[in-house]
Amino acid sequence: MQTENTSLSQNLNNKSVKAKKRWQILSEALRGSKSRDTCQNLVSVRRFQCYGLFNVEPAITHEEEATWMEYTCSEFPLFQLSVRHLTDKVNPETLHGFNNTGNVCIWPSEEVMTYFCLKNCSWFDGKAVCELGGGMTCLAGMSLAVYSSPSCVELTDGNENSIKNLDIMVKKNHQMFGSTQVNTRVLKWGPSGVDADLQDKFDYILCADCLFFEEGRQDLVDTLYSLLKTDGEAILFAPSRGETFQLFVDLAVSTFSVTTSEVYDERIQSMHHQMKAKGLDHYDENLHFPLYLKLKKTQPSTS
Ligand SMILES: C[S@@+](CC[C@H](N)C(=O)[O-])C[C@H]1O[C@@H](n2cnc3c(N)ncnc32)[C@H](O)[C@@H]1O
């Protein structure tokens, strides 16, 4: 009985420590406190932040609402990108405005998708590439623009603050784009459809961690279909997040041929297994481990 009481009181104590921590983080966010890590988040499930595939060094320039970071990667010595992380100050506007999840941090799926794209960068040479729901950095699309040679890269999100940040990043990195045409645009998946100039334009579409929005799921399938060329390909990464990955796949199969995979890169696979084997309680594959999804338009029947 005494052991039960002790473990109950330890449990309550842990819960109260966690609750205090959450309130502290939220209160710092509301005050826009600079003291915390730029990627530290509002909820405990986000304590796992990234796989550490990139070296991320703070740049000397500091701004009130953002921090500049220099991204490099030992596997790709010529890769360098200046990335502007918004300082995620929470205010009534961000809480009530358009979905703000892309201005909070760069999610592990985006990190992994970026690494995957850099590894396969020759696929994108001379191709028209679009990123959907890329958040404040569109890290994958932006990285391809500086590292490989797509003909054009369209960087998009539905959130206007994300696009403002992308515009600033484009200005900062433009000398690295070479002949690649880089544009940004507010693009909301939804019934109003896709601007005429983007329809059937893209060889590749990139999209990370955007499959969990209940209301947006069919709209995202339709948007992908509308943007892709007939023989184009969409590359998506997202954690399973309960049923949400599979629910998206269930919708996509009506207009796309679909390939899914957990085993798409040796290094990611081995890091994933190591973290699982260590039993780290902040690593939850349901929320953190990105699954790979490839969509190709179903070819019209020739018969
Ligand atoms: C979890 S964030 C992912 C951001 C980024 N890809 C990453 O992984 O770091 C989801 C993104 O989807 C965008 N989004 C949500 N619903 C949308 C919609 N209907 N149209 C366009 N973008 C949307 C949000 O603005 C947000 O940037």
Q: Is the pLDDT of residue 94 over 70?
A: no
Where are the chain's structural domains? 101-297
CB 189 within 8 A of CB 216: yes
Q: Across all residues in the chain, what is the average pLDDT?
A: 86
Phi-psi region of 209 (alpha: psi -120 to 50; beta: other; left: phi over 0): left
Region 241-247 average pLDDT: 97
**Distance in Å, CA 130 to ligand 1 centroid:** 14
Q: Which among 56, 71, 101 is the best mutation to test ligand 1's pocket, defined by most ligand atoms within 8 Å of the CB? A: 101
- Please, what's the largest Cα pairwise distance for the chain? 76
Predicted pLDDT at 38: 34
pLDDT of 260-277, one tens digit each? 999 999 999 999 999 999
Query: Which of 79, 143, 76, 83 lies closest to 113 in space, CA to CA?
Result: 143
- Name every residue whose Cβ is closer than 8 Å to that of residue 279 and which is 6 or more positions away in sequence: none
Q: Which residues pair with 291 in a beta bridge?
A: 238
Report the C-alpha gap between 94 and 73 in whole angstroms: 32
Question: What are residue 302's phi and psi, to 5 degrees?
Answer: -90, -10
CA of 138 to the centre of ligand 1 (A): 10
232 against 26, higher pLDDT: 232
What integer pLDDT is reported at residue 244 of this predicted model? 97
Q: Is the pLDDT of residue 45 over 60?
A: no
Q: How far apart are CA 273 and CA 294, in angstroms?
A: 23
DSSP designation for 263: -
Report whether residue 210 contacts ligand 1, using a CB cutoff of 6 Å: yes
Least confident of 62-71, 142-151, 179-188, 289-298: 62-71
Contact 179, 154 (CB under 8 A): no
The finding on whether 159 has its CB within 6 A of some atom of ligand 1 is yes
The closest alpha carbon to 130, from 195, 46, 56, belongs to 195
Q: What is 101-297's CATH topology?
A: Rossmann fold (3.40.50)
Q: Which of 201 and 2 is assigned the larger pLDDT?
A: 201
**For position 88, what pLDDT does the model report?**
65
pLDDT at 90: 59
User: Quick one: pLDDT at residue 281?
Assistant: 78
Choose the residue to mutate in 39, 83, 99 for probing ligand 1, maximizing ligand atoms within 8 Å of C-beta: 99
Instruction: Band the pLDDT of 249: cuts 50, 70, 90.
Output: very high
